[in-house]
Amino acid sequence: MPDYIFPLPFETRMKATLGGEWTDFAKAHKDASPVSIRLNPAKGKGLNGNKIPWSDFGYYLSERPAFTLDPTFHAGAYYVQEASSMFLEQALKQTTELDKPLRVLDLSAAPGGKSTHLLSLINQDSLLVANEVIRSRAQILSENIQKWGCANVIVTNSDPQTFQKLPGYFDVIVVDAPCSGEGLFRKDADAAREWSEDNINLCSLRQRRILTDVWPSLKENGVLIYSTCTYNAKENEENLTWLAENHTVEFVSLSVKPEWNIEEIKVGPVVGYRFYPHRLIGDGFFLSVIRKAETEASIRIRSGKNFSLASKKISDQLIPWINDANYFRTIRQEDLLIQIPDALYDDMGFISSQLHTVSKGTAIAEIKHEKLIPEHAIALSIHLNKEYFPAIELTSDQALAYLRKDNLVVGEGKRGFALVTYNGNVLGWINQLGNRINNLYPSSWRIRMNANASG
Ligand code: SAM
């Protein structure tokens, strides 16, 4: 790989920060970024590699497979995620009682790395609000959330300001802020090209605005996890110093094993963790945990009035479709039936009435001419009762044809809806019509890559 050319002011600053380590830092940019994935513990079967030390689910891969051509990727068996950012797991585990029902906000959630990770860490009676302000990105977020298969999540597309309507509501807020991306230079050439001091200043101001907007919605004693993938102090410790000057906060120290080579920084009251690519196997990253130490009156949510329950006749028909029917209530929105966790029924109703909602719970079926047509989301759900439906295991070529929404030939089967699987992982639905098969993979999700392509 050719020598990496850094923006000059960045190089000057980093040389001053890193001193003798600069050469190693620069050298690390001649290598490609490490490839890593995080397994979905609720689905299991996926790729494996060397363990990422700070995550129970993260693995490094020795090479970059063509993920798009791996059907298990589309089944939500794993998520491709940069290793350093999986440190979120330590931040959450070490500061939060994960066995309690929590309300968690992931404010800048697309494409879904932190949200899917949070879903693997919180319990099923906890609610995740996965929010993304950019509409097109909120759709991608919703798709990745559906693949992960959990129902205790609502995907929203709201401006951070909107969260002021929810004072004291969340136990945990994750702000994975839009930033200047200095830690991603080796992965993303655009991040280096677009870098400028002016952009750092703009990012820093935007981050302060975001923090100001969401701060009231954090409960007293709740934790805010702030992260960026950039090194500069303006977007990290200086913003947090500013937060501490304007609010009563406690920075939380995490226990970090020395062999992880993560740098703990302490500046005034601020405690944070910085990841450098020459010290560990991962890209540049910064994270800090801030506990709210000031009083905040909590909003009282109104109960039960925001959703219409499906009729008993319809709900009863759906009982065998899922493993744990008691966990859910079925709501009806026009002809769409959605499963909402019973314990989160009021919360989800309330949040959908306050925020612009993209998806919630798990869509299970559509009513068409009095028949129940299964929704794609329930095929990918971790709650699906696989035994109830006929299932057809596909070869790799058939699975890719299915994911391209091509014609599928799988031999004669019983008429009606069937699941298609690959290595036991559910990919979606087909409808067997006797002489042909309807491929029900969602059109907007279909893959466009050929088997001889790489990437
Ligand atoms: N958390 C995501 C993950 O782990 O997959 C990555 C988030 S990325 C670092 C930052 C996100 O902030 C982007 O999705 C971007 O669209 C969003 N964003 C951009 N401007 C924003 C704003 N003004 N307020 C909140 N979020 C914003």
The residues annotated as belonging to the active site are: 229
Ligand 1, residues 85, 89, 121, 133: which to mutate, most atoms within 8 A of Cβ? 133
Q: What is the rounded average pLDDT of the residues 420-446?
A: 95
Of 127, 131, 132, whose CA–CA distance to 104 is shortest? 127
Query: Which atom of ligand 1 is nearest the CA belonging to 228?
Result: 9
Residue-level pLDDT at 153 = 98
Residues 203-247: tens digit of each pLDDT: 999 999 999 999 999 999 999 999 999 999 999 999 999 999 999
Separation of 441 CA from ligand 1 center, angstroms?
A: 28
Distance CA 155, CA 141 (A): 8
Separation of 306 CA from ligand 1 center, angstroms?
A: 29
Separation of 179 CA from ligand 1 center, angstroms?
A: 8
With a 6 Å cutoff on the Cβ, whether 160 touches ligand 1 is yes
pLDDT band at residue 97, thresholds of 50, 70 and 90?
Answer: very high
Separation of 160 CA from ligand 1 center, angstroms?
A: 11
With a 6 Å cutoff on the Cβ, whether 32 touches ligand 1 is no
Q: Whose CA is nearest to atom 18 of ligand 1?
A: 178
With a 6 Å cutoff on the Cβ, whether 287 touches ligand 1 is no
Separation of 11 CA from ligand 1 center, angstroms?
A: 26
pLDDT band at residue 1, thresholds of 50, 70 and 90?
Answer: very low
Residue-level pLDDT at 118 = 98
Distance CA 277, CA 436 (A): 53
Residues 369-418: tens digit of each pLDDT: 999 999 999 999 999 999 999 999 999 999 999 999 999 988 777 899 99
Query: Which atom of ligand 1 is nearest the CA belonging to 229?
Result: 9
What would the two tokens of residue 107 be? 């404010």
Separation of 285 CA from ligand 1 center, angstroms?
A: 15
Residues 3-16: tens digit of each pLDDT: 678 999 999 999 99
More confident residue, 304 or 250: 250
Q: What is the rounded average pLDDT of the residues 41-54?
A: 85
With a 6 Å cutoff on the Cβ, whether 132 touches ligand 1 is yes
Name 299's Cβ contacts closer than 8 Å, sequence gap at least 6.
Answer: 166, 167, 168, 169
391-393/263-267 β-pairing: unpaired
Residues 121-134: tens digit of each pLDDT: 999 999 999 999 99
With a 6 Å cutoff on the Cβ, whether 283 touches ligand 1 is no
With a 6 Å cutoff on the Cβ, whether 134 touches ligand 1 is yes
285-292/357-360 β-pairing: unpaired
Q: Whose CA is nearest to atom 23 of ligand 1?
A: 206
pTM over 0.95: yes
Residue-level pLDDT at 6 = 93
Residue-level pLDDT at 46 = 63
Residue 364 has pLDDT above 60, yes or no: yes
Q: Whose CA is nearest to atom 16 of ligand 1?
A: 134
Residue-level pLDDT at 3 = 65
With a 6 Å cutoff on the Cβ, whether 111 touches ligand 1 is yes
Radius of gyration of the chain (CA): 23
With a 6 Å cutoff on the Cβ, whether 210 touches ligand 1 is yes
Separation of 89 CA from ligand 1 center, angstroms?
A: 19
Q: What is the rounded average pLDDT of the residues 103-115?
A: 98
pLDDT band at residue 447, thresholds of 50, 70 and 90?
Answer: very high
Q: Which amino acid is at 380?
A: L
Q: Whose CA is nearest to atom 9 of ligand 1?
A: 178
Looking at the DSSP assignment, which residues form a beta bridge with residue 290? 224, 251
With a 6 Å cutoff on the Cβ, whether 329 touches ligand 1 is no
pLDDT band at residue 452, thresholds of 50, 70 and 90?
Answer: low
Q: Whose CA is nearest to atom 20 of ligand 1?
A: 178
pLDDT band at residue 190, thresholds of 50, 70 and 90?
Answer: confident
Ligand 1, residues 38, 80, 92, 108: which to mutate, most atoms within 8 A of Cβ? 108
Query: Which atom of ligand 1 is nearest the CA belonging to 178?
Result: 10
Residue-level pLDDT at 77 = 96
Q: Whose CA is nearest to atom 5 of ligand 1?
A: 113
CA-based end-to-end distance of the chain? 18
Residue-level pLDDT at 453 = 46
Residues 254-273: tens digit of each pLDDT: 999 999 999 999 999 999 99
Separation of 435 CA from ligand 1 center, angstroms?
A: 47
pLDDT band at residue 455, thresholds of 50, 70 and 90?
Answer: very low
Separation of 228 CA from ligand 1 center, angstroms?
A: 10
Q: Whose CA is nearest to atom 17 of ligand 1?
A: 108
Percentage of residues in the chain having pLDDT higher than 70 = 97
Q: Whose CA is nearest to atom 26 of ligand 1?
A: 108
The per-residue pLDDT of the chain, averaged, comes to 94
Of 37-46, 87-96, 281-290, which range is least confident?
A: 37-46
Distance CA 119, CA 114 (A): 9
